[in-house]
Amino acid sequence: MGRIKLQLLSLLVFLLWTTSLTEGSDVTQTDLLWEKQGDNATMSCTHTKGAQYYQMYWYRQLPGETMELIVYTTTGIKNHDFGESSKEKFSATKPDAESGTFTVKDLQPGDKGLYFCAGLS
């Protein structure tokens, strides 16, 4: 499970994410990003667990709320499953089994929270 922390500082959105998939220390990535309010923030998740881990889930947890699934992505498929989530607000790519990206568009104070990725076989 990867962990992404999104905070708002003044007019800047501060993004810190640490990514790692469950059951393994073979996945770790820490990044720090500064984004302006209104900008788009793209975070990525990678692993070296092999091609059988071709699915990736992206979640977010807003302060005081439970973790919610935003999108379920599958390698080789363009139309990822956003369920009830807004496709205007979020986008995701899954170019290959070992990597994926997630974008939050038009960053607002309400986007502050923790973002997670999880890979599954």
Ligand X SMILES: *[C@@H]1O[C@H](CO)[C@@H](O)[C@H](O)[C@H]1NC(C)=O
Catalog residues that contact ligand X under the rule CB under 6 A: 39-40, 105
Closest approach, Cβ 79 to ligand X, in A, equals 16
Residue number, 105 or 112, with CB nearest to ligand X? 105
Question: From CA 63, how far away is CA 71, in angstroms rounded?
Answer: 19
Q: How many CA atoms lie within 13 A of 71 on its CB side?
A: 24
Q: Decide the pairing of beta strands 41-46 and 99-104.
A: antiparallel
Task: Report whether 33 contacts 7 (CB < 8 A).
Answer: no
Closest approach, Cβ 106 to ligand X, in A, equals 7
Residue number, 36 or 51, with CB nearest to ligand X? 36
Closest approach, Cβ 44 to ligand X, in A, equals 16
Report the DSSP beta bridge partners of residue 28: none
Residue number, 39 or 99, with CB nearest to ligand X? 39
